[in-house]
A and B are shown apart, each in its own frame.
Chain A
Amino acid sequence: MADLTSNFVGIKSPNPFWLASAPPTDKEYNVRRAFEAGWGGVVWKTLGEDPPIVNVNGPRYGAIWGADRRLLGLNNIELITDRPLETNLEEIARVKRDWPDRAIVVSLMVPVNEESWKAILHRVAETGADGVELNFGCPHGMSERGMGSAVGQVPEYVQQVTEWCKTHTDMPVIVKLTPNIADIRKPAQAAKDGGANAVSLINTINSITGVNLDNFAPEPTIDGKGAHGGYCGPAVKPIALNMVAEIARTPELHGLPISGIGGVTTWRDAAEFMALGAGNVQVCTAAMTYGFKIVQEMISGLSHYMDEKGFASTADLVGRAVPNLSDWQHLNLNYVTKARIDQDLCIKCGRCYAACEDTSHQAISMSEDRVFEVIDAECVACNLCVNVCPVEGCITMEKLAPGTVDERTGQVVQKDYANWTTHPNNPGKCAAE
């Protein structure tokens, strides 16, 4: 069995699966249940200054669903912990004492002044917690008070607060980034420049999940009104993966550890984040949807996968896909593929035909008896038919061997790599070396 133990910026945990700072980590009771279920660590729900904030007393969540009401995206307008600071600190100390092998990182959010940060850091250090995470991400409520994403959206603030924290604590400092920004590399760079031990991302995305079409209120609705919330869950995973990868592949940020967050639902999602550079992952929505037990599937799944691949430790996986992340202009234009439909697997629904005929390149034919076939002379290999086919593996993209003729272009497929930078149509092309 593969070794799943994780050492993230010096914080050790038996596996790389942490619960993200959120409702599941708000109280001792929940965190004990999480550890009993097998979670490697938690980031305790964000602490702030007393008096505690208050939450709305109506709905805090909105959602979107896929088929069979599978929850795909969750939106929340909950704020940081609404319990007294002392209560949280006592509980953190007790849980850490009873679960010394598990990671407990404490999320923090206080006003942007050095004294506030200094004061709370000293209190947290007394609990025996393993580290702190600076919440520069929450996009609702707290941001209106100059905290959360209001900090995360200004790289100078990110750097300043990070510097204060590094000055006033020896604990590892993880900076949690907001995705509500044009270029994620800027706040990541600021965190790094401020001395952060790591960044974690993504926090939630500004969102409105729906509108009630009877009273015309955005959802979730509080007494006829709605406010934007923070979006998370499986739906945000592609956005999170890209942001993690952007940081992982930027030379100036090289070596900055990343805790990957955003729609991690299965071991496979976790492995993907790790392959794109995340040292570990944090999970929230999946646990809120299915309960803490899902970690058992994550542990067994990642372990089996690593065994199959011969990875001795998670370090063998982390960052493995980063070198394969490229810019569009460097993609090989001589890689020519065509869709192929496996007639034995085809159930004749015709969705590939509708998609191609109505919205793409008219490259699939349909016979009287519903046989669907690819017309190579029209197929641009866009992959839409693969994506809309309900049968996995029924339609695949097959590479044309060099030397064969692409019937669409009439050109012989070249074996050499060639990209846009040297393409004759590129006004700014540079000569091949």
Chain B
Amino acid sequence: MTQNALTPGIVAGRLDPDAYADKFADLHPPLDDHEAFVAADRCYFCHDAPCITACPTEIDIPLFIRQIATGTPEAAAETILGQNILGGMCARVCPTETLCEQACVREAAEGKPVLIGRLQRYATDRLMARNSHPFTRAAPTGKRVAVVGAGPAGLACAHRLAMRGHDVTLHDAHQKPGGLNEYGIAAYKTVDNFAQAEVDWLLQIGGITVETGKRLGRDLSLDTLRAGFDAVFLGIGLGGVNALGLEDEDKDGIADAVDFIAELRQAGDLSKLPIGRDVVVIGGGMTAIDAAVQARLLGALNVTLVYRRGRERMNASRFEQDLAASKGVRIITNATPRAIHGNGAVREIEFEYTDDDLAPTGQTFRLPADQVFKAIGQTLEGEELPKLDGRKIAVTGAGRTSLKGVWAGGDCAAGGEDLTVTAVAQGRDAAEDIHASLMG
């Protein structure tokens, strides 16, 4: 029987087989040469530009845009990648509307910022299309560094260390490097297997040995790494997922949004990926949005995103909220899940309206749900880690932890905004600090 949007339950193939490619096409198609020139012309080349300050990796944005405008996109890419080796991915996934483009003076002047993110992609795509790597390694230092976690922080750290002449072993628990770039970001933001292509390009620097399927605490121990390497960088991300704390949370149909996204990203054929008819996503961050939008794109009839506080408190940017709404996701705010109903599998989920301080109102409602995705935050997992600050690894300066010779960065480290671009900045800066320590 052919499935469609009305089919109850969690089934695959709700859409026409040809529809998936369109649905999951590039969210922001790349600029062509003409569009890039028009967009670049709008940059005012500000003095000490606010967009640079707003970028966690402090890319010299006016300079790279001027390099595009003058017909040298490869030079522009070097300006970008010199600060942010994952500039290609950041061009795709950065919430530019709350970073560089929010700071753009043309946002103040006209409400229309220069398209910084898309110009960055234009430049980095041009360079990567040549499949050449513009950076070279310094003379070998003889030092060896272990980087744990091949996500944005680990990759940035490994690349910078390799550039400085150190030998790096890059470990990751997954089968592929890339971290959240590979497993945790909506497919329409990074099409055509870009995450792996970027890793492959990054590794062209040389001096980086990748060891996948190696999880800290299972296959690796921090003590061994500290003994075997001159320094260790932890970029292990947040492996655990917060629970709702409700009874029957293990009913069929209830899953973690991060697992759903990872499964979708690794799926060879999206028409084979089952999705519910009535999907409820609980959470208010980017993961919640990515899960909700992709559930709709897979053909779910009703997708509701429910967040416990008001809309202003959602971690997802206004752009992301609007994107979800435009794809037909219904957003309900100020509602906290209270109970899961259903016999064996989830059938309904019950919420209570709560104010921004989560004070209960006593008013409840139920949403039909054959599939529920939890996206209420991730947590650090692992034993024998350096000292924590709250629920993350405490760091001082450029990622120094309580353990000598151990640095940390990215989502697992305290502070920062849990963005790809912040992780890159932290990995890069930790690498420079490691380099200074080793050579000092």
Contact = CB atoms under 8 A, between A and B. Distances in A.
A68 B38 contact: yes
B44 A390 contact: yes
Interface centre among B45, B46, B47 (most CB of A within 10 A): B47
A347 B105 contact: yes
B37 interface: yes
A227 B328 CA distance: 62
B246 interface: no
B45 A351 contact: yes
Contact of A350 (B41, B47, B106, B109): B47
Interface string A330-373: 00000000000000000111110110000000000010001000
17 contacts: A68-B41, A69-B37, A347-B105, A347-B106, A347-B109, A348-B105, A349-B44, A349-B46, A349-B47, A350-B46, A350-B48, A351-B47, A353-B47, A366-B47, A370-B50, A390-B44, A391-B109
Contacts of A347: 105-106, 108-109
A66 B49 CA distance: 22
Nearest to B41: A67
Contact of B47 (A68, A69, A354): A354
Given A347-B108, A354-B47, A390-B109, 11 more contacts: A67-B42, A348-B105, A349-B47, A349-B105, A350-B47, A350-B48, A351-B44, A353-B47, A366-B48, A390-B44, A391-B109
A348 B50 CA distance: 9
Contacts of A351: 44-47
Contacts of A366: 47-48
Interface in A201-240: none
A350 B108 CA distance: 13
A68 B109 CA distance: 18
A44 B49 CA distance: 52
Nearest to B106: A347
Contacts of B47: 349-351, 353-354, 366
The 7 closest A-B pairs by CB, nearest first: A350-B47, A354-B47, A67-B41, A349-B46, A347-B105, A347-B109, A349-B105
A314 to B, nearest CB: 37
Contacts of B108: 347-348
Interface string B89-129: 00000000000000001101100000000000000000000
Interface of A: 67-69, 347-351, 353-354, 366, 370, 390-391
Nearest to B62: A349
A23 to B, nearest CB: 27
Contacts of B42: 67
Contacts of A348: 46, 50, 105, 108
Nearest to B37: A69
A68 B105 CA distance: 19
A349 B107 CA distance: 11
Nearest to B69: A67
Contacts of A350: 46-49
Nearest to A372: B47
Nearest to B103: A348
B430 to A, nearest CB: 28
Interface string B232-275: 00000000000000000000000000000000000000000000
Interface in B35-59: 37-38, 41-42, 44-50
A349 B48 CA distance: 8
A68 B35 CA distance: 10
Contacts of A354: 47
A389 to B, nearest CB: 10
A86 B37 CA distance: 47
A350 B47 CA distance: 5
Nearest to A353: B47
Nearest to A67: B41
Nearest to A358: B47
B33 to A, nearest CB: 12
Nearest to A70: B41
A351 B42 CA distance: 14
B287 to A, nearest CB: 34
Interface centre among B49, B106, B109 (most CB of A within 10 A): B109
A391 B106 CA distance: 10
Contacts of B106: 347
A354 B105 CA distance: 15
B105 to A, nearest CB: 4
Interface centre among B42, B49, B105, B108 (most CB of A within 10 A): B105
B50 to A, nearest CB: 7
A347 B50 CA distance: 11
A69 B46 CA distance: 21
A390 B114 CA distance: 14
Interface string B202-246: 000000000000000000000000000000000000000000000
A342 to B, nearest CB: 13
A348 B103 CA distance: 10
A68 B43 CA distance: 11
A370 B54 CA distance: 13
Contacts of B46: 348-351
A354 B38 CA distance: 24
Contacts of A68: 38, 41
Interface string B46-80: 11111000000000000000000000000000000
Contacts of A370: 50
Interface in B1-54: 37-38, 41-42, 44-50
A433 to B, nearest CB: 49
A68 B40 CA distance: 9
Contacts of B50: 348, 370
